[in-house]
Amino acid sequence: MGKHLLIDGHNLAYRCYYAIAALSRSDGFPTNALHGWAKSVRRLLEQERPVATRVFFDLGGSEERRALHADYKAQRKEMPEALARQIPFLKELSLALGCGVVEERGVESDDLLASAAVALAGEGDEVRIASSDKDFAQIVGGNIRILLPPPPGGAKAGWRVLDAAGVEEKFGVPPRQIADYLALVGDASDNIPGVPGVGPKTAARWLARFPDAAAVLAGAGELEPERLREVVRGSADLLERNLKLVRLNLTLGARGEAGTADAAALEAFLERFELRSALAEIRGRPAKPEVGPPAQGELF
């Protein structure tokens, strides 16, 4: 038994990419995401001291959810080309840092990560999920916690732990009702429309009285404000679909292999991509500046 660190790969990759306006190797290859990744993952490893770390990446998303809702995540812009070029190397860097890389075509990485988290926690291990994705709030509790990234300008605070009490404080409902909450209010980040007129406070108030979205629907005649009663009654199909979209699939068997750090491979990688400050850190020497403008802020 021990602590396992599970990292939401694309969530962290975007964060690292946008934390620095531009950074490049001397030949012009973009390295801003790689720079942030090296610092972020090393900080997480130092802070958490896990027995094993896995990074979960998407390979095309969920076919099941797209079949349910053709517009699922359709509003999202294409990944910036400069970030897309760095993704394969983020995986290579992860392996050098000692992280296993987990991905499966046609399956969302959120489902792979959540399944692994629940399986590991069920065996008595502690699990920390590094992500700002609210979907993971539904599995928090017992041995599972979320690690939220530092707020802008607050890098020294480190990654913050979100437990079940923190989930309830943040959303107004406990983890067991997060999927019902999201089904009611929708999720703009995934292009999932909620029940018209139902916002976070209304959904939380209803779920304080009713155990789940199905009970809210059954008790629609008692809901306040009264003007939303017929709206909810007419949203039965939407609620049923939304629950299928927002619930994490916890039945996937694969959890992926944990990795083993390779100091020589890590040093060679950092040299190849001219990540001088990260290289200086592992060598314990003063850093030389990377090629490109300074970071917009300490976010790692």
Q: pLDDT, tens digit, for every residue of 177-197?
A: 999 999 999 999 889 999 999
Domain boundaries for CATH 1.10.150.20 within the chain: 175-246
User: Which residue ranges in the chain fall short of pLDDT 50?
Assistant: 287, 293-300
Q: What is the pLDDT of residues 253-288, one digit of tens each?
A: 767 788 889 999 999 999 999 999 999 988 876 545
CATH number of 3-171+250-283: 3.40.50.1010
- Using DSSP's 3-state secondary structure scheme, residue 10 falls into helix
Q: Write down the CATH number for the domain with range 175-246.
A: 1.10.150.20
Strand-pair partners of 53:
5
CB atoms within 10 A of CB 271: 11
| pTM score of the predicted model | 0.91
Q: Is the dihedral of CA 196, 200, 203, 206 positive or negative?
A: negative
Measured in residues, the chain has a length of 300
